[in-house]
Amino acid sequence: MREGPRMRGPPMSLPADAFPLRAPGRMQTAWAIAVIALAILAAYHNGLGGPFVLDDASAITENASIRKLWPVWGAFLPPSGTTVGGRPLANFTLAINYALSGSDPWSYHALNIFIHVLSAATLFGVVCRTLARPALKGRFARDAAALALAVAVLWSLHPLQTEAVTYVIQRVESLMGLFYLLTFYCLIRSVESPRPLRWQICAVAACLMGMAAKEVMATAPLLALLYDRTFLAGSFRKAWQQRRGLHLALAATWIPLALLVSSTGWTRGGSAGFNSPVAPTVYWLTQFEAVARYLWLSLWPHPLVFDYGTLLAKHPGEAAPCALLVAALAAATIIACRSGGRPALGFLGAWTLLILAPSAIVPVATQTVAEHRMYLPLAALVALAVLGVHSIARRASWMTFGFLALLLGVLTERRNEDYRSAVSLWGDTVSKRPENARAHCSLGFALYSTPGGLPKAISEFEAALRIQPEYPDALNDLGMALENTPGRLVEAIAHFEEALRIRPDFAQAHYNLGIALTQAGRIPDAVSEYEAALRAQPRYAEARNNLGNILCAKGRTGEGIRELETALQIRPDYAKAHFDLGNAYVQTGRIPEAIQHYVEALRIQPDFAEANNNLGMILCRAGRMSEGIEHLEAAVRTRPDFAQAHFALGTALLQAGRRDEAIAEYERVLQLRPNDPSASAMLERIRAAH
């Protein structure tokens, strides 16, 4: 067994080879994984019911590529310009979730937690086997499994991890982290195994899958070589001589990564890259503060902020203290990594700084600071803390680790409470970052969707615009809120137009302006706006659906039906498009096809009262009276104030000879609409006939 350089420390009474190199037993491993899983479930159980937020919309609810698993390659072709752009493996896992629960978030959260459990279990394996290597076993081999469990549990329960676990789309971070750790686990096993090739193949496969999850995986081949030199071979020369083929194969995974990044135009849809709206020098200055903040939050996780906005350093002097800190850490890492230094400590420093490097070097316009980036780097800091405390406190350290695990678990559970709703999450963010315009805008959008929240939503949108007057998203969202406020349609149109002045290709603003112009009776202008939305975003199903409805209403039924059919090709699960296409087919006498689409709309959305009403009326006209009455009853059961459905049900009941029930339905119509002439006339006819 080759012996690598030892970590410096106080002399021990036992020599470095006093303990044989052995892996934890199966029962020991099983118990460790069980403890990890139970701890994570206890801390994250209240995160299962959280809603989709922020980038979840574009990557999940608006992502057509995840809506079917067959043919399977479709799920590996994510749309560019979203969080999953150029990250096909992450997109495929979302497709699995969509197959399980559609747009219900529970399965997405469950899989995120499961990935976190797997990552923590893999971290346990990596740390345990690393502590048993010759470089460290003289100090830690006796307690390797217990120390590895402490590292895995404390890492997995740290509140700083909540963003990578509870925020659904940041699965890209935790999924990449899982395969990053698996790469190292397989590397270690390849050295220990009498048949190393299969483990080497697994290491390369894990590295490749990580590249398909997130670009930060690019650092894995470099750190794998450093790990080999530090803990396995003892020097770069020996590592290269013994495992040259493996390290070349790991480096070769940069080629598919480059292809994936190029598929997004090298800019991730304009959100990242050196041509992004954020100047590289300003971004780099900001990253000194970001890294310093991450390190502080690792030690003291408060306050945690979901969205820092586009935080940017204003001048070099502002970043100087943090830059000095980061530079000192980098210098200490380099010195420690050198021969004769403290290579184990150097590796922990390199792990932290190298994994943070890609997101610190390549400008990201949407998030200059993001806590989820510490998902993997935190492992090195936790390992350093656990081994340091154990070296000093020995037996007393176990009580310390137990107390910390309990404390961190409670803090994580409390942090997950902030994710229970979009309003609570964005409200927390606004309270901590009141200067964040996007947080105000997002809080407004969350309030907009809650009963009675419209006035507060308008206030938040206006607050966002006071901070950032030319903020097209806030202008668009304020326009939506004003559009739904009586008497403010003209203001809404003005806000949509202002948003489009700033961002002419803003598809959603074109779409919302089209809706507002339709309400204002400016139909030709509305058509133009829907067409502009589709030029900017050809797969905008809602815009195609609305355009199709307008064309049908103008008598251009053939063109309208084509638009509606295209909307359903883009979004097969779009219930309203099925309903609207059913209506269009009724107009053209294609009754069997209309029935099929009403049925499909109800399969997707069982409480769709209008679809039940229209299907019920058609079935009654077709002589299928009992089926038609069932659907009409479902319509009024779902919407008791649906006067049209009550009238249709009354007519159907009268035709079926159920006179008293018909009278009750017509009377209900008059309760809802006292001056309804049709209901009054029907009641007079019934009473006159008897």
Q: Are residues 642 and 571 in the same domain?
A: no
Q: In this structure, is residue 522 part of a structural domain?
A: no
Rounded CA separation 122/172 (Å):
17
pLDDT for 22:
57
Reported confidence tier of residue 616, pLDDT bands at 50, 70, 90: very high
CATH label of the domain that carries residue 544: 1.25.40.10
Closest of 119, 127, 151, 131 to residue 37, by C-alpha: 119
Q: Are residues 593 and 634 in the same domain?
A: no
272 φ/ψ angles, rounded to the nearest 5 degrees: -150, 165
Higher pLDDT, 415 or 267: 415
pLDDT for 387:
96
> Within 13 Å and on the Cβ side, how many CA atoms surround 382?
30
Closest of 253, 118, 243, 248 to residue 187, by C-alpha: 243
- The parent domain of residue 616 ranges over 608-690
Q: Are residues 546 and 685 in the same domain?
A: no
pLDDT (average), residues 161-175: 98
pLDDT (average), residues 34-49: 97
Q: Which residues pair with 364 in a beta bridge?
A: 272
Q: Other CB atoms closer than 10 Å to residue 162's CB: what's the count?
A: 26
Largest CA distance in the chain: 109
Last residue of a domain, one of 585, 605, 625: 605
pLDDT for 70:
87
In the numeric block, the tokens 């990594």 are attached to 337
Q: Are residues 189 and 283 in the same domain?
A: yes
Q: In this structure, is residue 584 part of a structural domain?
A: yes
Q: In this structure, is residue 450 part of a structural domain?
A: no
Q: Are residues 244 and 140 in the same domain?
A: yes
Last residue of a domain, one of 567, 586, 605: 605
Q: Are residues 549 and 651 in the same domain?
A: no
> Within 13 Å and on the Cβ side, how many CA atoms surround 101?
15
Last residue of a domain, one of 563, 582, 605: 605
pLDDT for 417:
97
pLDDT for 7:
38
pLDDT (average), residues 208-236: 97
Task: Reply yes or no on whether the pLDDT at 202 is more than 80.
Answer: yes
Rounded CA separation 102/96 (Å):
9
Rounded CA separation 527/515 (Å):
10
Q: Are residues 558 and 655 in the same domain?
A: no
pLDDT digits (tens, 9 = 90+) for 565-603: 999 998 888 999 999 999 999 999 999 999 999 999 999
Rounded CA separation 540/558 (Å):
20
Rounded CA separation 638/117 (Å):
41
Question: Which amino acid, 33?
Answer: I
Task: Reply yes or no on whether the pLDDT at 11 is more than 70.
Answer: no
pLDDT digits (tens, 9 = 90+) for 126-165: 999 999 998 887 788 889 999 999 999 999 999 999 999 9
Q: In this structure, is residue 9 part of a structural domain?
A: no
Closest of 405, 309, 419, 409 to residue 366, by C-alpha: 309
pLDDT digits (tens, 9 = 90+) for 386-419: 999 999 999 899 999 999 999 999 999 999 999 9
Closest of 174, 166, 175, 169 to residue 425, by C-alpha: 166
Q: In this structure, is residue 348 part of a structural domain?
A: yes
Least confident of 201-210, 273-282, 447-456, 572-581: 273-282
Q: Are residues 549 and 413 in the same domain?
A: no
Q: Are residues 186 and 301 in the same domain?
A: yes
Write the DSSP assignment of 566-626 as a string of letters: HHHHH-TT-HHHHHHHHHHHHHTT-HHHHHHHHHHHHHH-TT-HHHHHHHHHHHHHTT-HH
Q: Are residues 683 and 553 in the same domain?
A: no
Reported confidence tier of residue 382, pLDDT bands at 50, 70, 90: very high
pLDDT digits (tens, 9 = 90+) for 632-652: 999 999 999 999 999 999 999
Rounded CA separation 52/550 (Å):
31
Q: In this structure, is residue 354 part of a structural domain?
A: yes
| C-alpha torsion sign, points 572, 576, 578, 580 | negative
Q: In this structure, is residue 456 part of a structural domain?
A: no
pLDDT digits (tens, 9 = 90+) for 60-108: 988 989 988 988 999 999 998 899 999 999 999 999 999 999 989 999 9
**Percent of the chain predicted with pLDDT > 90:** 85
Rounded CA separation 298/405 (Å):
14
Task: Reply yes or no on whether the pLDDT at 248 is more than 50.
Answer: yes
Task: Reply yes or no on whether the pLDDT at 332 is more than 50.
Answer: yes
Count: domains in the chain: 3
Rounded CA separation 587/557 (Å):
8
- Record the tokens describing residue 403, joined without a space: 């107390």
pLDDT for 23:
64
Least confident of 306-310, 356-360, 460-464, 559-563: 306-310
Q: Are residues 254 and 136 in the same domain?
A: yes
Q: Which residues pair with 272 in a beta bridge?
A: 364
Q: In this structure, is residue 453 part of a structural domain?
A: no
Q: Are residues 385 and 299 in the same domain?
A: yes
